[in-house]
Chains A and B, each alone.
Chain A
Amino acid sequence: MHIVVCIKQVPDSAQIRVHPVTNTIMRQGVPTIINPYDLFALEAALRLRDEYGGEVTVLTMGPPMAEDSLRKALTFGADRAVLLTDRFFAGSDTLATSYALAAAIEKIGEVFGKPEIVFTGKQTIDGDTAQVGPGIAKRQNLLQLTYVSKIAKVDLAGGKIEVERRAEGGIQVLETKLPVLITMLEGTNDMRRGSMADALRAARAEIVTWSAKDAGIEDILKCGLRGSPTVVKRVFAPSPRAEKAKQIELQPAAIDTADALIAEVFGRLPALETELVELHETL
């Protein structure tokens, strides 16, 4: 079985800082990581490969330095890494991104064998859109399984897969035909520690690096800024509320401060106090 896992290198959001005056992101020195949601997809893919045999190819689109994330994925045990990098991709929104990734997956299929499953994470932590997975599925004409919590079985000979999918109000158990695109839900597995052998292999591995042209993309107008129907017009920090928070003065005893806070809260929400008193009487 051949599995392609799409990953994204993202800034470690816990360490993002916004310049207080210009409201721009201070990218310098911010460490990058593999989008944490993608690790659940990668681990799910590695488990399937271990069970059914085959290969896992990791794919990312990004600047040349995104190679670091691909190498990291190799240390976990991925078999091959493909970096799609080209200045034409700069400024891509989700539609343009899914176009480029779908083209690269098509090319991966030609060169390394057609994948039965393409994985993505649920969403990224920097864009948070959850749109690229469905976008790839539509462009590659793959059946789409989003928010998958469990891969119950894969019937390679019969070309079928059964999964559990998180839906509103419950879990859908779905059966569909391969090839599929799966977006994996978070918390559904624990990423393995890579072996020493994988670490050594990853350090030496050659990353397959493709430009737009290498990936077979002929229509550059569908890429990057020009291929993106959405336009970001303004980036800004929200303004503070006109009225600053009313500060409760600290008393020597915390309990007295607490009483003052409660008086302020119920002064503003008298109906809530009535409801709560009634609630306590019924307890």
Chain B
Amino acid sequence: MSNAPAAPAPAAGGRAGMKKELSEHFKAYKGVWVFIEVERGVVHPVSYELLGEGRKLADQLGVELAGAILGPKGEATDHAIAETFAYGADLVYLMEDPLLADYRNEPFSKGLTDLVNTYKPEILLLGATTLGRDLAGSVATTLLTGLTADCTELAVDADKSLAATRPTFGGSLLCTIYTLNFRPQMATVRPRVMSMPKRQEKPIGRVVTHPLNMAEDDIVTKILEFVADRQTGKVNLAYADIVVAGGLGLGAVENMQLVKNLAKALGAEYGCSRPIVQKGWMPAERQIGQTGKTIRPKLYIAAGISGAIQHRVGVEGADLIVAVNTDKNAPIFDFAHVGVVTDAIRFLPALTEAFTRRLSPHNRDRLAG
């Protein structure tokens, strides 16, 4: 058999898998689902963002939008159901069981897999959180279907397939990925990548319940303790109204202070680009971009950041992007709204001073001296 012809080299446009030949079995898969992430009683806002996106996909496909909710019976789950309808779902698939009170991979992956196999959605969206990624990888592998991580754009194409766009090659380019011949088409989206849809008071609609059929003894992993993060001093970049960030153009670790000073004057959060974290100048939790935090502030000020695609996709949701960079050809000026071509190291202190004066005029004399 060693003389068998070599497999043809993959050529763009010529791949066997490029053609859509959906089997009869998969044609029964209908509808768009969003996994509603409820952890310790709280719905993660990314679930609402996904309902907004899922609504658009469902309308284009002419199908229903459903929320899949797994949790214990009680107030928190009831609240999640009501909110799922308020954010646009037509129906809810509900799995209620005390074993679903805290996230564990085993019951959640069995539960969601069972729901999918029973009710057969064509699209399944999850938030790219630690929970969503843990769960999505297990479910997609069990279902042997495609899963596209960290999408920045979702669309339905002419033949009604899901076109999922995400950064690739370390965030230097974008690519559009399809799961043509398997169902459901699964995708995760990071928090804040999609905008929050409008909430509309709506009566609770159709709720389809399904049992988990598991006992505690079936679950090997036990939760010994949950240590909640301290709320004080916690970085909340993703939901900040104003963000100031620094990049390699700032030249030295001590210049990170310039970013912090401006942030402080504006009551803003501060962050940085990926190379800054790689150099150890700021902690990973401050990283903005594809592999860090996605932000949607009203105002984003990027100082000394060139604006690689992986950074761009993390900040494009900002209402106003201001870029300060010495290189007038830096890619950041391709997507910033306002630019200043100058050295951020010298400009940031001036900007901090000018903002402080403007916002508290009685400080003017003291600061000018």
Contact = CB atoms under 8 A, between A and B. Distances in A.
Q: Do A and B bind each other?
A: yes
B322 interface: yes
Given A232-B177, A238-B309, A269-B319, A186 B148 contact: no
| Residue among A126, A138, A258 with max Cβ neighbours from chain B (10 Å) | A258
B220 interface: yes
Contact of B338 (A143, A224, A245, A273): A245
A168 B339 contact: no
Contacts of A204: none
Interface string A169-193: 1111111110000000011000000
B225 A168 contact: no
A173 B137 CA distance: 21
A121 to B, nearest CB: 12
Contacts, number: 292
Interface residues of A, number: 97
B40 interface: yes
A233 B177 contact: yes
A264 B323 CA distance: 13
Interface in A198-243: 224-226, 228-238, 240-241, 243
Given A226-B17, A262-B354, A135 B129 contact: no
B226 to A, nearest CB: 5
A254 B221 contact: no
B179 A276 contact: no
11 contacts: A14-B275, A90-B10, A131-B149, A134-B137, A135-B141, A138-B138, A167-B39, A167-B226, A169-B40, A237-B173, A237-B309
Given A233-B163, A238-B174, 8 more contacts: A146-B105, A176-B221, A187-B284, A230-B146, A230-B147, A233-B176, A254-B342, A257-B350
Interface of B: 6-7, 9-10, 15-18, 37, 39-40, 42, 44, 102-106, 109, 129-131, 133-134, 136-138, 140-142, 144-150, 163, 167-182, 220-229, 241-242, 266-267, 275, 278, 283-284, 290-291, 298-299, 309, 312, 319-323, 328, 333-342, 346-347, 349-351, 353-355, 358-360
